[in-house]
A and B are shown apart, each in its own frame.
Chain A
Amino acid sequence: MDDKIILHYEVSGDDFTRAGEASSDVKNKLKQMDVSPEAIRKVAIAMYEGEINMVIHANGGDITVEISPEEILMVLKDTGPGIPDVGLAMQEGYSTAKEEIRSLGFGAGMGLPNMKKYSDTMKIDTIVGVGTTITMTVAM
Chain B
Amino acid sequence: MDKFYHSVRLQQDLCKGCINCIKRCPTSAIRVSNGKARITSKFCIDCGECIRICPHHAKVATYDHLDALKQYKYTVILPAPSLYAQFNNLDDTNIVLSALLMLGFDDVYEVSGAAELVSEESRNYIREHMDNWPYISTACPSVVRLIRVRFPNLLSHLLPVKPPVEVAAQLARKKAVKLTGYKPEEIGVFFLSPCPSKVTYSKTPLGVEKSEIDHVLAIKEIYPLMLPLMKEAQRSPKQLSISGKIGIGWGGSGGEASGLISDNYLAADGIENVIQVLEDLEDEKLPNLQFIELDACAGGCVGGVLTVENPYVAAVKLKKLRKYMPVSCNHLGDEPAENLYLTQDINYEPVFRLGNDLKSSILKMNQVERLCQKFPGLDCGSCGAPTCKALAEDIVRGEAKENDCIYLFRQDIHELSDEIAAITNSLLNGDGDGKAGIHMLQDYIHDFSSRMARLDPLTQKENEDDSTRPD
Contact = CB atoms under 8 A, between A and B. Distances in A.
A2 B366 CA distance: 7
A34 B152 contact: no
A103 interface: no
Contacts of B355: 33-34
A32 B366 CA distance: 12
A34 B283 contact: no
Contact of A34 (B153, B282, B285, B361): B361
B362 A5 contact: yes
B150 A31 contact: yes
B359 interface: yes
Interface in B317-367: 348, 350, 352-363, 365-367
A37 B153 contact: yes
Interface in A6-32: 20, 23-24, 27, 29, 31-32
B354 A33 contact: yes
Contacts of A34: 350, 353, 355-358, 360-361
Given A24-B279, A41-B153, A41-B282, A35 B358 contact: yes
B365 A69 contact: no
Interface residues of A, number: 27
A60 to B, nearest CB: 19
B284 interface: yes
Nearest to A23: B283
Interface string B150-176: 101100000000000000000000000
Nearest to B155: A37
B150 A33 contact: no
A100 interface: no
Given A69-B358, A69-B359, A32 B283 contact: no
B284 to A, nearest CB: 6
A67 interface: yes
Given A34-B353, A44-B283, A48-B283, A2 B153 contact: no
A85 interface: no
B269 to A, nearest CB: 22
B458 to A, nearest CB: 35
A99 interface: no
A23 B285 CA distance: 13
Contacts of A33: 353-355, 358, 361-362, 365
B369 interface: yes
Contacts of A38: 153
Q: Tell me which of B357, B362, B363 has the highest count of chain A C-beta atoms within 10 A of its own C-beta.
A: B362
B352 A32 contact: yes
A136 interface: no
A32 B358 contact: no
A123 interface: no
Nearest to B355: A34
Given A27-B283, A37-B152, A32 B353 contact: yes
A20 B283 CA distance: 10
A5 B283 contact: no
B157 to A, nearest CB: 12
A67 to B, nearest CB: 6
A45 B283 contact: yes
B276 to A, nearest CB: 11
Contacts of B365: 5, 29, 32-33, 67
A37 B355 CA distance: 16
Contacts of B369: 5
Contact of B153 (A20, A40, A140): A40
Contacts of B350: 31, 34
Interface string B353-394: 111111111110111010000000000000000000000010
Contacts of B283: 20, 23-24, 27, 44-45, 48
A4 interface: yes
B279 A2 contact: no
- Most A CB contacts (10 A, CB to CB) among B358, B359, B369 go to B358
Contacts of A67: 362, 365
Given A2-B363, A5-B362, A68-B362, 10 more contacts: A20-B283, A23-B283, A27-B283, A29-B365, A31-B152, A31-B350, A31-B353, A33-B365, A45-B284, A67-B365
Interface of B: 150, 152-153, 279, 282-285, 287, 348, 350, 352-363, 365-367, 369, 393
Q: Lowest 4 CB-CB distances: which A-B pairs, in order?
A: A33-B361, A37-B152, A2-B363, A41-B153
